[in-house]
Amino acid sequence: MQDYLTYSVYGSAILLMLIGLYAALVKKNLIKIVIGLSILDAGIHLLFVAVGYLNNATAPIFSETVLDKNVVMADPVPQALVLTAIVIGFGVTAVALALVVRLYRKHNTTNIDEIKNLKW
Amino acid sequence: MKKLIVITLLLILGFYLMSTFISVPFGAERIAGVKDYYLKQSPETLKVSNVVTAIVVSFRGFDTLGEVTVLFLASTALGSILYRRRTHHSGLNPQREAVVSSTLVRTGAKVLFPMIILLGAYVFVHGHLTPGGGFQGGAIIATGFLLILISYRKFFINHNVLTWVEALAGTTFVLIGIGGFIFANQNNFLENFLPEGTLNNLISGGVVGIIYIAVGFKVGAEITGILDTLLTIKEAGLNPDEN
Amino acid sequence: MGIGSIIFLIGALIFILVAAIYAVIQKDLIHAVIATSLISLALSLVFYILQAPDVALTEAAIGIALSTIIFIITIRNTKRYESE
C-alpha cells in the first residue's frame, strides 16, 4: 500500500513537471509556453508538499486540542517554501505575459517561428 | 524528429527524478532536525500557533523581505514593459467607458466587494492563529478589486495611493526588523522585541502579527497594481497602429 | 490517511494529469487556460489532504482566480487560437 502511494503521488508530480516542460520545449505559441511553465510550477509545488507529508500527521498548527497531546505534524519547512514559490510564480507569469503582449504589438504574431528578429 | 528527441530527454530526466525521490518514501517518518526545532520553538518561545507563519515571518523573515521585494520588482517591470504615454491622466478612456457590464454583474459586485475585503482582512489579521496570512489575504483583497475593476469600467485606481500603501508597508517591515537590532535580547534583525502574550490569543506572537499585516497590505497593493496595469492595456490593443 | 482520503487523492491526481494533457494539446487558448485553472482547483484540494492548509489557501486565491485572469487578459490582447 505504501509503495503504491509513493509511486502514484511522486509519479504524478513528476509527470506533471514533464508535461509542462514538454509544452515549454515543443510548442510554438508564446502563450502555450507560458501555460507550460505554470504547469511545471504546479508539479514542483506538488512534489515539495508530498515530500513534507508524514503518515497520520496533522497540519502544523497548534490549537487547544492539539497542544497537549504528542501529535505528529507534517513538515512545515516545504510548506513555507511552496507558499512563497506560488506568489513568486504569479509575479513571473505576469512579467512573461507582459513580454508576450509587447512582442505581439511589435510583430503582430504570437508564433515564435514568425518572429524573425531573434535569428541571426 | 524534434518531438522524439525532447520526449527521450524528458523520459531520462523523469527516470532520474523518480529514482531520486523513491528513496524518500511517501509519508514515512524520517530524520529532520530543523522541523523538530521549529515545531518546538514556535509555540514555546515565539507563541505563534501556526508554524508555517512562524517560519515565513520570523525564522526566515529575511527571505520574505526579499520575496516581497521581488514582487515589487515584478510589478515595476510590468509597468515599464507595457509603458505607453497616456493622452490624459484621468485614466478614463472613452473606448473603455463605452462597454457596460450588465446590471446583475454590477449589483452583485457591489454587494460582494465589502465582504471579500473583510475576508481578506480577516485572513491576514489571523495569520498567526489559523491557516492564512499576508500573502493569502493580500491575494484575496486583490481579487475583490479585480471584481470591481471588471464590472465597473469607470472605476479608476489611483496609483499614487497604491505606491504610498506599498511604501509604508515596506517601511514598517524594515523598521520592525531594525527594531530587533536595538531592543531585542540578542540584537538580531527581525528578532521579536514585543511581549509574546499567550498562545492562541489574537494578540500574541509579538512582532509576527504586525509584520504579516504589513505584508498583507503590501501584497494586496502590488497585485492590484499588476492587475490594473494589465487591464488598462486592453483598449490600447484595439488600435495596433499606435505603437 | 484513511481509505476515503486515499481514493480522493488518487482521483484528484488523475484529474490533474488529464487536465494538464488537455491544456497542452488544446488549440483554443481560452479552453487551455480554463484547464490550467482546473489543475489549480484540484491541486488545492490535494494540498488540503496532504495537511498543508496554508498552501491550499494560497493556491486557491492565486492559482484559480488571479493567474487565470491575467492569462485571459493577455489572450484578449493577442490571438485566441494557436496556429500551426
B119, three cell numbers:
475576508
Determine whether A69 is exposed, middle or buried from the number of CB atoms within 10 Å of its CB (0-12, 13-18, 19+). Answer: exposed
C84 belongs to a structural domain: no
* B234 or A21: which leads in pLDDT: A21
Measure the CA–CA gap between A119 and B70, rounded to whole angstroms.
31
Q: How close A120 comes to chain C (CA, Å)?
A: 23
Percent of chain C's residues with pLDDT above 90? 81
User: Would residue C44 count as lying in a domain?
Assistant: yes
C82 within a domain of the structure (yes/no): no
CA B65 to chain centre: 12
Q: Which helix (H) or strand (E) holds C27?
A: none
The percent of residues in chain B predicted with pLDDT above 90, rounded, is: 42
Tell me: the pLDDT tens digits for B172-209? 999 999 988 888 888 888 888 888 888 888 888 888 98
B133 to C54: CB separation less than 8 angstroms, yes or no? yes
Contact (Cβ atoms closer than 8 angstroms) between residue B5 and residue B161: no
Contact C51 A109 (CB under 8 A): no
Q: What is the pLDDT of residues A53-80, one digit of tens each?
A: 988 888 888 887 776 667 888 899 999 9
ipTM: 0.92
For residues C56 and C45, give the distance between their C-alpha atoms in angstroms, rounded to a whole number.
Answer: 7
Domain span at C26: 3-77
Give the pLDDT confidence score for residue A65 in this predicted structure. 74
Chain C interface mutation, best of A49, A73, A88, highest count of C Cβ atoms under 10 Å: A49
CA of C53 vs chain B CAs: smallest distance (Å): 6
Residues of B in contact with C65 (CB under 8 A): 139, 143, 146
pLDDT at B10 over 60: yes
How many independent structural domains does chain C possess?
1
- Other C-beta atoms lying within 10 Å of the C-beta of residue C15: 17
Tell me the torsion sign for CA atoms B80, B158, B134, B57: positive
Domain layout of chain A by residue ranges: 2-118
Lowest mean pLDDT among A49-63, A70-84, B95-109, C52-66: B95-109
Residue B237: list chain C partners with CB under 8 A: 76-78
CATH number of the domain at A2-118, please?
1.10.287.3510
Q: Determine the Cα–Cα distance for residues B101 and C81; give it in Å rounded to an integer.
A: 25
The answer to whether residue B237 neighbours chain C at the CB level (below 8 Å) is: yes
**What is the pLDDT at residue B121?**
93
Domain for residue C33, yes or no?
Answer: yes
C83 found inside a domain: no
Report whether pLDDT(B89) > 50: no
* Span A83-102, pLDDT tens digits: 999 999 999 999 999 999 98
